[in-house]
């Protein structure tokens, strides 16, 4: 698989985690039903790990999404 395809795959995974985080957050900045602080932390940790990995592997930044630090 080409580096560009690998990078795109990681970027898509990052964006999926961002979508999941947005679904956890309600209009008041609180958790939607069924989500916990550990779910939020897991998603944020994965987003940080993916961005760091892309820089290390391909020296390419995955565009930062501010939901990562909600």
Q: Is the pLDDT of residue 25 over 90?
A: no
pLDDT of residue 68: 93
pTM of the model: 0.84
Place of tokens 């565009």: 63
Q: Is the pLDDT of residue 30 over 80?
A: no
Rounded CA-CA distance 57/47 in Å is 15
- In a 13 Å sphere around the CA of 53, the CA atoms on its Cβ side amount to 15
């Amino acid at each position: 698989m080409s580096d560009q395809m690998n990078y795109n795959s990681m970027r898509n995974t990052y964006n999926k985690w961002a979508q999941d985080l947005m679904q956890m957050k309600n209009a008041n900045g609180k958790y939607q039903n069924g989500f916990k602080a550990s779910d939020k932390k897991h998603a944020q940790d994965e987003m940080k790990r993916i961005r760091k990995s892309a820089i290390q592997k391909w020296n390419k930044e995955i565009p930062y999404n501010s939901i990562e630090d909600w």
